[in-house]
Amino acid sequence: MGRLQEELTDASRKQWIAEKSLKASTLQRDYLKEENSRLQEDLDKAKAKVCKVCKPVSMEEAVPLLQRVPDKKIIWEQIQERLL
């Protein structure tokens, strides 16, 4: 009878450990899902900023910018690269 009681106690302890491990894994999974969502939002914002900065430049936009810049040759080369 003592041996059965010992096995029951051992099984209960193992079940308790398994439940706590499952709970920890679930919490970690939920945290990672939230973190993934936050990172995806940050990535989307960064992509939007890059698209805004790297939008194609028309000649109408380029000429006034070129007139304000001291080193026009470098800027002109950058504008040509964007247009190609």
Tens-level pLDDT at each residue, the chain (84 residues): 788 899 999 999 999 999 999 999 999 999 999 999 999 998 888 888 777 766 666 667 766 766 666 666 666 676 667 665
Number of structural domains found in the chain: 2
**pLDDT value of residue 28:** 96
pTM of the predicted model over 0.75: no
Q: Is 84 helix (H, G, I), strand (E, B) or coil?
A: coil
State whether 47 and 60 are in the same domain.
no
Q: Are residues 18 and 7 in the same domain?
A: yes
Scan for tokens 């302890």, then name that residue.
13
Tell me which residue range forms the domain holding 48.
1-53
Predicted confidence at residue 25, as pLDDT, reads 95
Closest Cα to residue 57, out of 36, 84, 34?
Answer: 84
Residues 20, 38: one domain?
Answer: yes
Confidence (pLDDT) at 31:
95
Q: What is the Cα–Cα distance from 33 to 40, expressed in whole angstroms?
A: 10
